Amino acid sequence: MVRLLSATPSPYARKVRIALAEKGLAFELVTEVPWNADTTTPLYNPLEKLPVLILEDGETVCESRFILEWLEVKHPEPPLLPADPDERLAARRLEVLVDGMLDAFLLNFWERRRPEACRSAPWMARQMRKIEGGMGELDRLVPATGFCVGNRFGLGDIVVGTVLGYLQVRFPEYHWREAYPKLAGVLERLSERDSFRTTVPVPQQLEAASI
């Protein structure tokens, strides 16, 4: 059985967990705190980033976007990418947008953990502009009803659902539901799926030395 090295709040790892569940693939979930001193992450990924898919032969597949691509190639049924070329590009567009937003979220998260005197207000404001811009673009791109791309669940739903779910865990003070009711509806619909219900992100305790 494959193993997935994951951090409980990680939206990147959650994307992979949802994809594995939707494809009906059994796996062992191994939870890590990659920032802590006792992490085993460097043993499996030289970039020390999660998630990591550890195959039965010991080989590893790293980076969420590449893991999702690997799963689609190795386990094509059910497909998570549309067959229609335009819809496939639309799903990839959402993926790129969401990954950029998540990067901005993480940069802002770590900046906020620095001592207040060391924080850069312009840096944090720049990351929030990216997040706000991304939310506006998501609101423009996703439909008011149905799935995010085409007429079936797929990659677009996974990435949009994970970024919205991450907001609830790491940025509860950001009241995006009022500003983007259409996106709130998307999350409500996706939250009814088993793959989303069983992968709700949970914060982890970080060692002080890791900050």
Give the CATH number for residue 203: 3.40.30.10
Tokens of 204: 């982890």
Q: The domain containing residue 71 runs over which residues?
A: 2-79+198-210
Total number of domains in the chain: 2
Q: Same domain, yes or no, for 178 and 206?
A: no
What is the rounded distance in angstroms from the CA atom of residue 50 to the CA atom of residue 45? Answer: 8
The pLDDT value given to residue 204: 66
179 shares a domain with 115: yes
Convert the pLDDT of each residue in 109-160 to its tens digit.
889 888 999 999 999 999 999 999 999 999 999 999 999 999 999 999 999 9
CB 165 within 8 A of CB 13: no
Q: What are phi and psi of 27, to 5 degrees?
A: -155, 160
**102 and 146 belong to one structural domain:** yes
User: Same domain, yes or no, for 13 and 108?
Assistant: no
Same domain, 158 and 202: no
Residues 70, 125 within the same domain: no
Each residue's pLDDT, cut to its tens digit, for the chain (211 residues) gives 999 999 888 999 999 999 999 999 999 999 988 778 788 999 999 998 999 999 999 999 999 999 999 999 999 999 999 999 999 999 999 999 999 999 999 899 889 888 999 999 999 999 999 999 999 999 999 999 999 999 999 999 999 999 999 998 888 888 899 999 999 999 999 999 999 999 998 876 655 444 3
